[in-house]
Amino acid sequence: MALVSSVRVSVKQSGIARYERAVRRLVAAVRSDSAAAEWRASMSDGVNGITFAFGSMAESFAELSRREPLPAVVRRLLGESAGDAFLEELTADIQSSSSSIRRIRDDLSTLKLPLSLKEAPALFFVTRLKVRSGGQATTENTIRKVTEASQKIGAPRRVTVSSTMIGELGEYYIAQPMNDPAELDRQKTPGEVLVEAFGEKEGGAILAASATAIESVTTMLAFPRPDLSNVRQ
């Protein structure tokens, strides 16, 4: 069971440069430490300002539980006093943060993560679905139908789907890599794809069912930040 442990951090506008410098210092400190977990960083700009996301892959909860917590890693590498001072610097400009553990849904995905560094796209188009209680089966059926429909009309989508296991339950994340934002100009909405592939009656019925199951839909553009990532490849 592939998992992704994710931390999302919202940073004060005035402190973005300081925060990035601190994360680069952290990367420099841990990159040569084989015990430190790898992570990939991305940045998005939305209604709540700049958000940084740090995702780390694991094959099981047992693997995650064996990992040394980041504060412990920092204190071990820098020493107790210098480590505490650095942790204060790292968190000084953070407005809010949240963490989650999500399961990679291979049964709903058409793209396997993690991508190699050579395959890293310019950006990800990410769709976050917040599902009402009891709406998981309907939502997953809709995701499968959109994939089937996109293949049927000759416009297959490369997506990785994950669902939250620890954190804000009822969330699904659909991540689609893109090499250029201009790809969005040519991309059809899920509704358009369903209707074109299955017709208004069947496509409309799928959309109507999903509307009763999905509480909210949020989209964002996430830009990979290799300079803030700890990837030993």
Q: DSSP letter string over the chain?
A: --EEEEEEEEE-GGGHHHHHHHHHHHHHHHTT-TTSPPBEEEEEEETTEEEEEEEEEES-HHHHHTSPPHHHHHHHHH-HHHHHHHHHHHHTTEEEEEEEEEEE-TTT-SSPSSPPGGG--SEEEEEEEEEPTT-HHHHHHHHHHHHHHHHHTT-----EEEEEEESSTTEEEEEEEES-TTHHHHPPPHHHHHHHHHHHHHHHHHHHHHHHHEEEEEEEEEEE-GGG-B---
What does pTM read for this prediction? Answer: 0.91
pLDDT in tens, the chain (233 residues): 899 999 999 999 999 999 999 999 999 999 888 888 899 999 998 666 789 999 999 999 999 999 999 999 999 999 999 999 999 999 999 999 999 999 999 999 999 877 776 678 999 999 999 999 999 999 999 999 999 999 999 999 999 999 999 999 999 999 999 999 999 999 999 999 999 999 999 999 999 999 999 999 999 999 999 999 998 76
Q: Which domains does the chain have, with CATH numbers?
A: 3-103 (3.30.70.100), 104-222 (3.30.70.100)
Quote the CA–CA distance of 163 and 180 in Å, as a whole number. Answer: 26
Dump pLDDT digits (tens) for 130-165. 999 999 999 999 999 999 999 999 999 999 999 999
